[in-house]
Structure 1
Amino acid sequence: MNAKIMLQLAAIFGALAVIFGAFGAHALEALLVKTGRLDTYETAVNYHFYYSLALLMVGILYQQNPTMTGLKLSAWFFLGGIIVFSGSLYLLCLSQVTWLGAITPLGGISFILGWAWIFVSFRKGNQ
């Protein structure tokens, strides 16, 4: 993945976060309130948006520092985290299949690994 693709994915996933947030606030609000999943859906949208911004940041950093290949791993982990963490919560809210909640922490681990790879990328001697 190169910087251009990272930035394009950040734009796509950021737009999707806004769309999913609006969809949840309007079209799905009654269902989410009825099922008690409004907070869960809001958490999914919040993390989706936070990590779209984190992916944008990594893309900018990688564009400025293309030799820091650890940033590529960070981008992949953030992307995977959005899909697994937020995706599993979206599906949980819409399907009420509760075992999907067991998958969500894997997305959280992916987010943590993304941050770890940013740290590794900026270690002394790795610039």
Structure 2
Amino acid sequence: MSGWTPRTWTGLAAVSGLLAVGFGAFGAHGVHDPKAAEWLRIGSQYQMAHALAVFAAFGLHRAGAKGMGAAAALFLVGSLIFAGSLYAMALGAPRVLGAITPIGGVSFMIGWALLAWRAFTLRDQA
């Protein structure tokens, strides 16, 4: 992923945000099953927060902060697994798919931990 261009990172973050808005709106206006609506709401909230986190982490990566590209990738993978599994279940996929949802959550947490670790261990540049 280190060879991805800024256009690729920006595009993926933007698509993630777009999907978050779309699925959130669908959950609010197009679904009548309360459980499905809740899955769409939760998935879209987490996906939107992490779409913005991808922009921030990639911006730090471009500024030379090591490890931030990996954090951005973890946020994208987390969105795909966490939000994607919730969206799929809301659209009728078997509920057993919910067993992988926590893997996405762990990906988010590792990304945030990496950001925190790098923030506290990077030397200030004068």
Distance 2:80 2:104 in 1: 7
Alignment equivalent of 1:101, drawn from 98, 109, 117 = 98
The residue number in structure 1 matching 2:18 is 15
The residue number in structure 2 matching 1:124 is 122
Quote how far apart the aligned CAs of 1:125 are: 4.2
Q: How many residue pairs align between the two structures?
A: 121
Q: Determine whether 1:6 maps to 2:3.
A: no
Quote how far apart the aligned CAs of 1:58 are: 0.7
| AA in 2 matched with 1:61 | L
Q: Structure 1 residues 126 and 94, CA, compared in 2 at 3 Å: closer, same or farther?
A: farther
The residue number in structure 1 matching 2:59 is 60
The residue number in structure 2 matching 1:114 is 111
Q: Structure 1 residues 93 and 120, CA, compared in 2 at 3 Å: closer, same or farther?
A: same
Q: Structure 1 residues 109 and 116, CA, compared in 2 at 3 Å: closer, same or farther?
A: same
Distance 1:59 1:89 in 2: 26
The gaps in structure 2 that reach 5 residues or longer are none
Percent of matched pairs sharing the same residue? 36
Distance 1:41 1:16 in 2: 11
RMSD between aligned residues: 2.0
TM-score normalized by the length of structure 2: 0.84
